[in-house]
Amino acid sequence: MAEIVAARPFPLRFDPATTALIVIDMQRDFIEPGGFGAALGNDVSVLAAIIPTVAALIEGFRAAGLPVIHTRECHRPDLSDCPPAKRERGKPSLRIGDPGPMGRILIAGEPGAEIVPQLLPAAGEIVIDKPGKGAFYATPLGDHLARLGIRTLVFAGVTTEVCVQTTMREANDRGFDCLLAEDATESYFPEFKEAALQMIRAQGAIVGWTATTAEIVDALDD
């Protein structure tokens, strides 16, 4: 067993042999200029700043021989899995499916839907394409985790209060212990990230725990 003594709201004990990392939506459309994140009026450099920390967390899991799972929020080219309400909401300069600087926005197979080059999946790592905010909805993620015998999930990625928190809540409902790497996740809105962290670990880890990347990797090394 491993333990993260400094985890919040209290120490987390877990078995590395049944632990996996899920990296949420570190995609060009959200993180690079010209993508969907920028089309919504956001400063994407805030998200890009966590790339080195996410990379360090991924490398820590790879070095320990533990599973790394990547997700991408994207849709079929015909948008049959994209509800009209999702596509039409808000006032972005580009909508899901529209042509953009990196191909059609959030469409599977387009350059913008791909994971940023610094964090590309290694050979054999699972990549989940998801049509919703949560990574369990309409995906085989649950089947993969069952096959691997996973009981604890560590999370990183973007954005903290939307796709990351949604997936953590889905995982919590399915009985997984959930841990979020505080410095390997980010939001376009700093106050939203802080609120999400507080919600996740409130009331005795009602959704899960939080810890830093260094604390998590050190526990895996031990």
* Catalytic residue set: 25, 130, 163
Alpha carbon 208 to its chain centroid, in Å, reads: 15
E-only strand ranges, the chain: 2-4, 12-14, 19-24, 68-73, 99-100, 103-104, 126-130, 152-158, 177-186, 209-211
Integer Cα distance of 218 and 222 in angstroms: 6
Integer Cα distance of 32 and 40 in angstroms: 13
Integer Cα distance of 131 and 153 in angstroms: 21
Judge contact between 32 and 93, C-beta under 8 A. Answer: no
Q: Is the dihedral of CA 1, 51, 47, 137 positive or negative?
A: negative
Q: From the CB of residue 35, how many other CB atoms can be counted at a distance below 10 Å?
A: 25
Judge contact between 174 and 148, C-beta under 8 A. Answer: no
The residue among 193, 203, 146 whose CA lies nearest residue 171 is 146
